[in-house]
Amino acid sequence: MENAIEVKDLSIKYKELKKMTIKQSLLHFRLNRTEEFEAVKGISFSVEKGRILGIIGKNGSGKSTLLRALAGIFSPDRGTIDLMGNTVSLMSIGTGFQNKLTGFENIILAGLLMGFTEEEIRKKAPEIIEFSELGNFIYKPVRTYSSGMYSKLAFSITALLETDIMLIDEVLSVGDIHFREKSGQKMREIIRDENRTVVIVSHSMGTLKELCNEILWLNDGVIMETGEPDEVIAHYEAYMKKL
């Protein structure tokens, strides 16, 4: 089977600023110090084309960092990410939108960043706006949106501007009941496309069991286990109960 994603020996580090008093800063002749934090620690895995991979783990395990690396937002400090020439989109609250721009303008911008032409985006825009259920709010700055409205727009753009690889970070768990049901149905339609690969980060074990072919359990930046959803989730839940 052909792979859509290949990750080899991937490590990603952050530089954290350490707070210092003015006196300490003067004594040390600098305003701050930095410490490195390794969020992802030398992991390797692959995802076959058309498969749905769920990523689980406690908060701070590196799940969202990994997703952003796959989307090209973060660069590896070590290792490689190969998307095998596939187009990719990231669906995530708080990522990708310009708050001063309107929802409509963000549709255009997001589409351009995903590699679509403006003509292709404008052709899809009415469908995106209708699916988002935002009405006239689509022409207001997204800084005025609630988190639910933000998630509706994020989902609608990524779901309807179809890329080869979809990366989803918790968006399915946000929004009103009606929209969650509608977005869930749309996800099932997307997943039935054998040519589309999906990677989902979520704390909703029920959703992952329903949608995913495989689960990757990430803990403190390392892979604990990969395999069948029921088995890996059971091991993860047993581990979490012991904490």
- pLDDT above 80 (res 81): yes
Q: Is the pTM of the predicted complex or chain greater than 0.85?
A: no
Determine how many CB atoms are found less than 10 A away from the CB of residue 117: 10
- Residue 155 CB partners (closer than 8 Å, separation 6+): 91, 132, 171, 172, 175, 183, 186
According to the per-residue pLDDT averaged within each range, which of 20-34, 115-129, 195-209 is highest? 115-129
Neighbours of 82 (CB within 10 A): 13
Q: Model confidence over 130-163: pLDDT tens digits?
A: 999 999 999 999 999 988 888 889 889 988 988 9
Is the pLDDT confidence value at 179 over 90?
A: no
d(CA 167, CA 67): 7
Dist. CA 171–CA 198, nearest whole Å: 13
Q: Where are the domains of the chain?
A: 3-241
Q: Quick one: tokens of 185? A: 């149905």
pLDDT of res. 181: 83
Q: Give the residue ranges of DSSP H helices in 115-176.
A: 118-132, 147-160
Backbone dihedral angles phi then psi of residue 100, each to the nearest 5 degrees? -80, -20
CATH fold group of domain 3-241: Rossmann fold (3.40.50)
pLDDT confidence of residue 62: 94
The pLDDT, as a whole number, for residue 198 is: 92
**Percent of the residues in the chain that have a pLDDT greater than 70, as a whole number:** 88
